[in-house]
Chain A
Amino acid sequence: MLQNIHIRLAENRVNTSLAVNRRVPKIFTPGEIISEQREFMRGHGTYEEDIYLKASVAGVKEQVNKLISIRPLKSRYNGEIGDVVVGRITEVQQKRWKVDTNSRLDSMLLLSSVNLPGGELRRRSAEDEHMMRQYLQEGDLISAEVQNVFSDGSLSLHTRSFKYGKLSQGVMLKVFPSLIKRSKTHFHNLAVGASIILGNNGFVWICPTMSNDEDNVGGFVQNLEEVVNCILALAQSNVMLFDTSILYAYEESLKYNVVELLVPEAMVDVAILTQHRLNLCENS
């Protein structure tokens, strides 16, 4: 099969930035003095030196009463209770699994916080401990919810709902966690036949929508790749990811075929049109 392969020089690179002129809040960079008084409390992204409160990351200031913190625009995933995450099993241990969730320490999934196959609630026996690897082994992908955050910052997950559990037959994408918009639900069924899990940790899972119709038994969905490419295009231009933005991007991308969507110009075009439509929605 003959394909066009695009190789270009660095100078012909497409500028993927969509920044428009808006009012910019004050930006702090590492080492910059935030306050000269002692009356403020230091939060994340700040430190005290002599009498000064200084920033330690680049970002904008957030103030809650006396607590000042600087939030970087991009960082590793900081878990919060109730977040939906997609993760990969890295280790099977006694009574628990270790899960890579793009966080600064591996998360924990206790045997007691999963619904074992079979469904009914029961005590976890020694037999279950032996069967752990049969249920989830290294490299498996799961979706889960953050149950608890330990004092060292690592997360404890649970999958005690039919929504969560092992993932199979789909595509996982990795984007920066800051691009996932927090919303009520992170599970979406797009009308185009794809289901999406937008993990708060920046892992996005895309799979064909499960349906009871018998006509698509093969589980083959044409649109899956297009959705994947749309999300990649949005992520490259730093557009926030949520159900509406993905749907808009998909609609805007219909004029391209799947392969064309990997060309930088097309990716930026889709991102610009999506951003434009989102702005229209916001303003109306």
Chain B
Amino acid sequence: MSRKELLSKIGLRQDGRRAEELRRIRCKLGVFTQPDGSAYLEQGLTKVLAAVYGPHQVRGGRSKAQHDAAILNCQFSMAVFSTGDRKKRPRGDRKSTEISIHLRQALLAAVKVELYPWSQIDVFVEVLHADGGVFSACVNAATLALIDAGIPLKEYICACTASLANNNVAMVDISNQEEIIGGPVLTVVALPMSAKIVHMEMFQRFHLDHLPKVLNLALQGCKDIKVILDEAVRNHVEDIGSTTGWSNTTTKQ
């Protein structure tokens, strides 16, 4: 056997999934009490925490404040124990700065920042366990945390990865193992309800002819993820609402 195959002859992947199958997603909103909004998301073995503070007064340097929109400040970091090799990752390194900027761009597409002039919204994401699709898990967790904080969004922002196996079959939600074996990885951040692509990123390459099919699968993945996140949000709102008796709303039962 020369090298491991991404997709076996019977159409199963290394971890036993089919090509168009997502990993299990589990999520929880409101995991912390200190931030205004928080969320925990597990996508397969990738585990991410997100916390949102704000909108609040701009601290440190009034000059940054904008008169027509809130500042969206994102910070990405990885725990020292999140990958196989234990390594200290200072927050300012190039990779995490780049991911922070991409996260900010992705979120700005849906967060209605124009409602909060002179304010600032902070989004912090921490990767606890990196097992492929780290950026997409971060985007999904950040969306949940923003919803938990009650910050207006145009719609859900979902992210998903896709790859090409055996040079002709598209597959969705790439794990770390598959990244190592060496498939190209396409990360797509989309607004699934209006089917808009917000951000796209690719490592390695494949022929342009394959792009539509890989892209479509990634977009389908985003839509599937949206359904899962939506259900989690509804459960959370029901849970909180029925404990407080919906008393901070005027809707009487």
Interface residues of A (CB under 8 A from B): 17-25, 27, 29-31, 45, 47, 49, 54, 56-62, 71-76, 90, 100, 104-106, 152, 174-176, 178-179, 181, 235-240, 275
Contacts and interface: CB of A to CB of B under 8 A. Distances in A.
B173 interface: no
B55 A104 contact: yes
Contacts of A17: 239, 243
A102 to B, nearest CB: 8
B156 A30 contact: yes
Name the residue among A104, A175, A179 with the largest chain B CB count within 10 angstroms. A104
Contacts, number: 140
Interface of B: 30, 33-34, 36-37, 54-57, 110, 112, 116-119, 147-156, 191, 193, 230, 233-234, 236-251, 253
Contacts of A238: 240, 243-244
Contact of B36 (A24, A25, A76): A76
A284 to B, nearest CB: 16
Contacts of B248: 71, 73, 178
Contacts of B238: 19, 24, 27
B152 A73 contact: no
A235 B117 CA distance: 30
Given A76-B36, A76-B56, A71 B249 contact: yes
B240 A30 contact: no
Contacts of B249: 25, 59-60, 62, 71, 73
Nearest to A20: B242
A62 B154 contact: no
Contacts of A59: 150, 237, 249
Contacts of B154: 30-31, 47, 49, 54, 56
Contacts of B243: 17-19, 237-239, 275
A105 B118 contact: yes
A25 B118 contact: no
A104 B70 CA distance: 10
A72 B150 contact: yes
Contacts of A19: 238-240, 242-243
A76 B241 contact: no
Contacts of A71: 248-249
Given A56-B152, A73-B244, A100-B57, 18 more contacts: A18-B243, A19-B238, A19-B239, A19-B240, A19-B243, A22-B242, A24-B242, A31-B154, A57-B147, A57-B150, A57-B152, A59-B237, A59-B249, A74-B30, A76-B56, A152-B117, A236-B33, A238-B243
Contacts of B56: 76, 104-105
B79 to A, nearest CB: 14
Nearest to A30: B153
B155 A31 contact: yes
B251 A57 contact: no
A73 B251 CA distance: 12
Contacts of A75: 36, 149-151
A31 B239 contact: no
A27 B245 CA distance: 14
19 contacts: A17-B243, A19-B238, A22-B253, A25-B246, A25-B249, A27-B237, A29-B156, A54-B155, A56-B152, A74-B150, A75-B36, A75-B150, A75-B151, A100-B57, A104-B56, A152-B118, A174-B34, A178-B244, A181-B247
Contacts of A73: 150, 237, 240-241, 244, 248-249
A24 B249 CA distance: 13
Contacts of A179: 244
Contact of B155 (A21, A24, A30): A30
Nearest to A237: B243
A236 B31 CA distance: 10
A67 B193 CA distance: 25
Contacts of A104: 54-57, 116, 119
Contacts of A106: 57
Nearest to A179: B244
Nearest to B250: A62
Contacts of A49: 154
A189 to B, nearest CB: 24
B188 to A, nearest CB: 18
A138 to B, nearest CB: 13
Contacts of A61: 251
Contacts of B233: 29, 58
Nearest to B40: A10
Given A20-B242, A27-B238, A29-B233, A74 B156 contact: no
Contact of A74 (B149, B191, B193, B242): B149
Q: Which 4 A-B pairs have the closest CB atoms?
A: A31-B155, A75-B150, A72-B150, A56-B152
B152 A47 contact: yes
A58 B150 CA distance: 7
Contacts of B247: 181, 240
